[in-house]
A and B are shown apart, each in its own frame.
Chain A
């Protein structure tokens, strides 16, 4: 996913390569060191993509939902891989159920991200209401994260 973005980046690719490489290294580290650095890897991957979009693309990038879902799958599959390292004799159905849940979450996330892109592409006025709604959503996500982290 990052490779596609970098190939499309053209002359700005050298500026994006360090963060992309660091993100990849952190993902490998997360896999080998029990999840350490996973959040940073995802954040760097997302930041690299956003930097590419801002620097190169003048139009809305239709590949954004796919990038979002792939980033989510990176996180979920890494966590699943780490969970499987515990020596627990598990029902075989657990793996199928989790696989189905991850796939469902990915499809739902893809649909939601595609909806966001579609709404963003629609010619609507960029008024105060939408800005406030965006700010509330950002604060809500941050608050949810803090609540989840403290619970």
Chain B
């Protein structure tokens, strides 16, 4: 630890020296008497010795959800004791602590004390707590020793998920077993149709009631249950952030919710972080993939970039054929708009979930910015029209609505539009 002196100590020394010199020069004892208590304070300060403190921070958990609380425990020990020990945990903005993050206490010789801090996880992210800032002071605060202590503790705060009752089914299924009824007939459970018996059909598939009515062998046809490939396409080129509310935060929350929902259905889910920093995960299924996706989402951040970037830069395996691509975007960057239209042109089943930034940027009525805001909204409408022209449903997720609302809108659109 590095030693520091109080700002008043040099002033005390100067005062004492002035008093002693004045006493000599004037031949009076009063200036010396004035200096005496300050000399005593100097002696008290010089007599202070650097204390040795052991600090062991720990967290009761490494993972938490948004809104959860985690408890940080700091164990302190000193052989020689400390008159005043101050401990500060530097916290990121996304975490807060009840009663502040700084504590001051007395640590007697050979005494072990424990400080507990309740941390509230305000926003998702991958954080590191520590090392701690520690300051030991003498009882008068004339000298202090500062330093950093303790091992850094990781804490991953996962985004809280939205409640979803149904997901958007992909138009095309894959060859692996899953929970989604395929559009192609085959071996399955769901009844599809009746047809006449053909050589090779199994006897168990014969529909005896239809056979009796028609006088010839008829068999049942079924839809098989298959899985689908879903790619979550997260636009990280730009965001709108106002007073802690951000489109990127909601986009990450939506992506985590959708990943969880599709993986529960035994689908394979992949992730593409499309922005200043490109990241991707090849579609896989299972719990491990869920953690991989969420961990990647925690690291996703808006990085300013002027690079012209298209979907060509993505590895082919990240976008398997017949995959459902769910693009979660605030529709702020032209590069994303172009890339999504490119994806649609390549035949992907594309859905655009627009994380609306309009509520965050609403100007005051009769403000000079109102005209600019209206023009901006018109340009967004034009972009949505471009998507609709190529058959891509665009749904708007407003801040005051649950995620289920735009997904239901997509389902209704698909039901009515009967996309190819």
Question: Across the interface, do A98 and B33 meet the contact criterion of CB distance under 8 Å?
Answer: no
Cβ < 8 Å to A, chain B residues 1-21: 3, 5-21
Other-chain residue from B26, B46, B141 in contact with A144 (beta carbon distance below 8 A)? B46
Flag whether B169 is at the interface (Cβ < 8 A): no
Question: Across the interface, do B15 and A53 meet the contact criterion of CB distance under 8 Å?
Answer: no
Other-chain residue from B34, B41, B86, B143 in contact with A113 (beta carbon distance below 8 A)? B34
Question: Across the interface, do B26 and A54 meet the contact criterion of CB distance under 8 Å?
Answer: yes
Question: Across the interface, do B5 and A148 meet the contact criterion of CB distance under 8 Å?
Answer: yes
Total number of B residues with any Cβ neighbor in A under 8 Å: 55
Residue interface bits A115-134, CB-to-B below 8 A is 1, else 0: 11101110000100001001
Question: Across the interface, do B5 and A50 meet the contact criterion of CB distance under 8 Å?
Answer: no
Flag whether A21 is at the interface (Cβ < 8 A): no
Chain B residues, Cβ within 8 Å of A145: 9-10, 12-14, 16-17, 42
Binds A, one of B96-104, B208-216, B272-280, B371-379: B96-104
Smallest CB separation, A80 vs chain B (Å): 7
Closest to B23 in A: A134
Question: Across the interface, do A64 and B20 meet the contact criterion of CB distance under 8 Å?
Answer: no
Question: Across the interface, do B22 and A50 meet the contact criterion of CB distance under 8 Å?
Answer: yes
Question: Across the interface, do B13 and A142 meet the contact criterion of CB distance under 8 Å?
Answer: yes
Question: Across the interface, do B29 and A60 meet the contact criterion of CB distance under 8 Å?
Answer: yes
Chain A residues, Cβ within 8 Å of B11: 38-40, 42-43, 75
Total number of A residues with any Cβ neighbor in B under 8 Å: 69
Closest to A107 in B: B37
Q: How far is the CA of A50 from the CA of B23 in the complex (A)?
A: 9
Smallest CB separation, A89 vs chain B (Å): 5
Residue interface bits B361-377, CB-to-A below 8 A is 1, else 0: 00000000000000000
Question: Across the interface, do B104 and A42 meet the contact criterion of CB distance under 8 Å?
Answer: no
Flag whether B68 is at the interface (Cβ < 8 A): no
Q: Which residues of A contact B (CB under 8 A)?
A: 35, 38-40, 42-43, 46-47, 49-50, 53-54, 60-61, 64-65, 67-69, 71-72, 75-76, 78-80, 83, 86-91, 93-94, 97-98, 101-102, 105-106, 108-110, 112-117, 119-121, 126, 131, 134-135, 137-139, 141-142, 144-149, 151
Q: Which residues of B contact A (CB under 8 A)?
A: 3, 5-24, 26-42, 44-46, 83-84, 86, 99-100, 102-106, 139-141, 143
